A and B are shown apart, each in its own frame.
Chain A
Amino acid sequence: MTTPPSVTVNGSTSPFSASGILSAPVFSLAVADFHPPKRVAVKLWNTYVNNVDGCTGLKLLHIPTDEVKIYSTIEQPVGAPLDHHALCLAIFYATTITLEENEALDLLGQARSIQLLKFKVGLEQAFAQGDFLDRPTLTGLHALAIYLVYLSFVVTLGSTVI
């Protein structure tokens, strides 16, 4: 059994630490760069709607209105509102968690942990750059709520996170 170096023992240095949500903004990181290719993003969103929304905790989203935010951000990430980015990235993160390992590899073309980390850092930056703590929005809070449900999962993934 191999262990990814990023998710090892003591955890205090794990990049999957929950504390990243309180990141400082790094404006040289463009949130739009953390999105997957568009066809992957659409697939992740559809999987979320079918398998995930309403299955963990409570159903949060109102699909007819929220899908407009999601699709606009997927199509034109540059310049999209930061809270819409946050919602997209939280959903990508959540759905990636729920995929089987081989499905994840097929769809993402990359190890799941690398993708998860990318979504996570993107999400944290979307919050930080959007000054989310002081200027929360409903969409941003949706993103945080979804993300927090699935953040606990990475620690239970164990060896499959590789």
Chain B
Amino acid sequence: MRVHNRGSGIWVLNGLAIRMAESMGLHRDGGQLALSPFQAEIRRRLWWHLITRDSRAGEDYGLESTNSLLLTSKVAPPLNVDDVDLSPDIRELPAAKKGWTGMTFSLIHIEIARAGQRLVEIGASSGLSSSKSESQRAKVIGEMRELVEQKVRLFNFVVPQHRMAVSCARWLVKKLDFITRQQFRMRKHPGPREDLATDENLLEALEILEPRFTEMTEDELLKQFSWVRKVFPQYHVTMYILWHLCVKPEGPYVSRAWKSVDLVFSDELWNEYTSGFGAKSAVLAALKVKAVALRESLQKKRTSGLDRMAGDDSEASAEEAGGVSSKDESQTDILLGDVYGGDFNFDIGSDAWPDWSILAQEFQADGRPFAGGF
């Protein structure tokens, strides 16, 4: 399979942009250079934009970096002020505002990106079985949630820009919590991961993904922002849902899950005709094919099973009344057997929730150095 990974081209260019910024001294806080307060502040915005963008590589391209500038940069974060509070001739910067400003959402972004980076580093430094890592993770998430909530409290629900920002912010927090919790559990329990495919996890994933469709389509005031969903397609959560459907094709939330999957694929992901984030979309598409095949074969087996049962009535109906338990479990086992032996041209073994770094290693040209980390 030929994968043209042009997504990483953008990541590379982002690195170039950071280099250019460094050549202009943006990596040093403007307050320590002979710059006007205004210039220094504008440079802070740009610098923090570039380094938080870089940290998105994890989701966009399946790459994770453990030496991010996010945690080491000496540049002060930008102030929570509106543009009208700044002008080129100010002698000193105003105090940060307490209320919501044009920069508040940006500052929330920085907090989330920094927490994400901390988690990458905890993950990279703690051993596979470290039981401390989950409590460290929960602590980082808790602190981030608190910081974000402090800022979110400032918003005015009536203003669409605020509403949009708050909804995105809460959603980013939930997503980071969910994804990293699964990743940390996975590393703690290597081997078969079916036990990660719980109804509880699936419900949580759906509750993260679904509002993206409902809020943006049902809230008329948010229509103007419907593009945001397309600019940031959600790979990780979608991948969990698809993986879950492969491992556990039945359960109380399965039909809800299929609805979301269909929406994502009809709307959010690039289609097979375009070049793009090759690796991830290809993996999602393959997972979907697998999940669909599983669902169909399950349906087929159930129908033929029912036909047979129609012949010897009493036992069959007793079993029906008794619920789905043992019979369906064994069916799932059979199906999973098929899956393990599946002939996909890359390994997305259904016992493991595929990890982007593994995928990145498999997809990106041999031996390129940036697939480390998680």
Instruction: Enumerate chain A interface residues (CB-CB to B < 8 A).
Output: 1, 3, 7-12, 14, 17-19, 21, 50-51, 53-60, 62-65, 97-100, 132-133, 136, 138, 141-142, 144-145, 148-153, 155-159, 161
Contacts and interface: CB of A to CB of B under 8 A. Distances in A.
Contact of A58 (B83, B110, B231): B110
Contacts of B4: 10-12
Contacts of B110: 58
B109 interface: yes
B50 interface: yes
Contacts of A150: 231
Chain B binding site: helix, strand, loop or mixed by DSSP? helix
A53 to B, nearest CB: 8
B331 interface: no
Interface stretch (B19-27, B180-188, B252-260): B19-27
Nearest to B277: A155
A22 to B, nearest CB: 9
B49 A159 contact: no
Contact of B164 (A9, A55, A145): A55
B46 A142 contact: yes
Contacts of B49: 57-58, 60, 145
Contacts of B161: 54-55
Contacts of B46: 60, 138, 141-142, 145
Contacts of B17: 141, 144-145, 148
Contacts of A18: 6, 9-10, 12-13
Contacts of A56: 228, 231-232
Nearest to B42: A62
B34 interface: no
B45, B88, B164, B233 interface centre (most CB from chain A within 10 Å)? B45
B225 A17 contact: no
Contacts of A60: 45-46, 49
Contact of A59 (B105, B230, B270): B105
A161 B304 CA distance: 45
B106 interface: yes
B10 A158 contact: no
B102 A133 contact: no
A54 B102 contact: yes
B231 A10 contact: no
B53 A155 contact: no
B231 A3 contact: no
B103 interface: yes
Interface of B: 2, 4, 6-7, 9-10, 12-14, 16-17, 20-21, 23-24, 26, 42-43, 45-46, 48-50, 52-53, 60, 78, 83-84, 86-88, 102-103, 105-106, 109-110, 161, 164-165, 224-228, 230-233, 268-271, 273-278
Chain A binding site: helix, strand, loop or mixed by DSSP? helix
B10 A151 contact: yes
Contacts of A100: 226-227
A51 B231 contact: no
Contact of A17 (B6, B23, B53, B273): B6
Contacts of A17: 6, 9
A134 to B, nearest CB: 9
Nearest to A132: B20
A7 B26 CA distance: 35
21 contacts: A1-B273, A9-B275, A12-B4, A18-B6, A21-B13, A55-B164, A58-B49, A59-B102, A59-B106, A62-B83, A98-B227, A133-B20, A141-B21, A142-B46, A144-B20, A150-B231, A155-B6, A155-B7, A155-B277, A156-B231, A161-B274
B310 to A, nearest CB: 42
A23 B78 CA distance: 33
A54 B6 contact: no
A11 B52 CA distance: 27
Contacts of A132: 20
A133 B88 CA distance: 26
A19 B9 contact: yes
Contact of A62 (B24, B26, B86): B86
The 8 closest A-B pairs by CB, nearest first: A11-B275, A155-B276, A18-B9, A58-B49, A98-B227, A58-B106, A11-B4, A158-B271
